[in-house]
Amino acid sequence: MGSAIGSFLNVVIDRAIRRETLLGRSYCDNCHATLKTVDLIPIFSFVGLGGRCRVCKKPVSWQYPIVEAIAGILFVLSFLTLSTAGNLAIASLLFNFFLVSILIIVAEVDIKFSLIPTSFVYLASLIALLYNFIFLNQDAFVQNVGTAFLAALVFGLIVLVTRGKGMGTGDITLAFLMGLVLGFSQTILTVFLAFFFGALVSVFLIILGKKHFGQTIPFAPFLVLGFLLSLFWGTQILRWYLMVY
């Protein structure tokens, strides 16, 4: 089911940026031939067709099977982590499915177009706010809302001080969603993980000669990675850290 949703997310990623309607049949990006059902089976169609369009034979972007596979993996992880925590309620599971879907869109759009689709982040924030209001106790709800504004403020100050060179305004909205969902301690963990992996990849790209000092890379994918690690294993990571240090 996750991979099937991932196939739809690919459509959202491409068409939302092009400002195309999400309605209508899928088509090849190269020859614009309408795709048939056999072309749309998640992952298997890509493998079966050798990564090429059935009509024009031109290569199909690896984005499609990768997003489908990642969505499938994240849906399974959502189920397993909630089940292990004894919180496998339909509402929690659907919320996690929705959240990881939005995060996939945000990460991929930032990778492809170097921008964050804030309308999707706003939607996720609204749903998260309603979810928290219904299912969290009053103290946890207040803490998460406070953390959301604090995270947005910190990221906003970074944008202001660096004049947008160190971070984009879209990251502010993502930080707000992060605080709203994760709470204070796991938001700090997410920021640490994002900067850690961002720095690691940056150094690696510089060593390979793909980037030079002063050049920027999309930061949202690292925030999303930290977000997902904290969402699934944040409690375990923090517990391990406190035991070691």
In a domain, 11, yes or no: yes
Q: What's the token pair of residue 138?
A: 């009053």
In a domain, 37, yes or no: yes
Non-local CB neighbours of 163 within 8 Å, separated by 6+ positions: none
In a domain, 100, yes or no: no
Tell me the pTM.
Answer: 0.91
Which of 41, 73, 88 delimits the end of a domain?
88
Average pLDDT value for the chain: 89
Segments of the chain scoring below 50 in pLDDT: none
Q: Are residues 64 and 139 in the same domain?
A: no
In a domain, 174, yes or no: yes
In a domain, 111, yes or no: no
Cα–Cα distance for residue pair 71/132, rounded to 1 Å: 24
Cα–Cα distance for residue pair 140/119, rounded to 1 Å: 26
How far separated are the first and last CA of the chain, in Å rounded? 40
Query: Which amino acid is it at 142?
Result: V
Asked if 240 and 195 count as a contact pair (C-beta separation under 8 A), the reply is no
Give the pLDDT confidence score for residue 245 in this predicted structure: 64
In a domain, 96, yes or no: no
Give the pLDDT confidence score for residue 218 in this predicted structure: 84
Q: Are residues 125 and 237 in the same domain?
A: yes
Q: Are residues 190 and 226 in the same domain?
A: yes
Q: Are residues 68 and 121 in the same domain?
A: no
Cα–Cα distance for residue pair 239/216, rounded to 1 Å: 33
Q: Are residues 233 and 170 in the same domain?
A: yes
The boundaries of the domain holding residue 7 are 1-88
Give the pLDDT confidence score for residue 167 in this predicted structure: 78
Q: Are residues 136 and 200 in the same domain?
A: yes
Give the up-direction half-sphere exposure of residue 162: CA atoms within 13 A in the CB hemisphere.
14
Give the pLDDT confidence score for residue 214 in this predicted structure: 65
Which of 68, 88, 108 delimits the end of a domain?
88
Structure confidence by residue, pLDDT tens digits, 234-245: 989 998 888 876
Asked if 223 and 178 count as a contact pair (C-beta separation under 8 A), the reply is yes
In a domain, 35, yes or no: yes
Q: Are residues 139 and 84 in the same domain?
A: no
In a domain, 109, yes or no: no
Q: Are residues 207 and 244 in the same domain?
A: yes
Chain centroid to CA 27: how far? 25
Structural domains of the chain, count: 2
Q: Are residues 78 and 132 in the same domain?
A: no
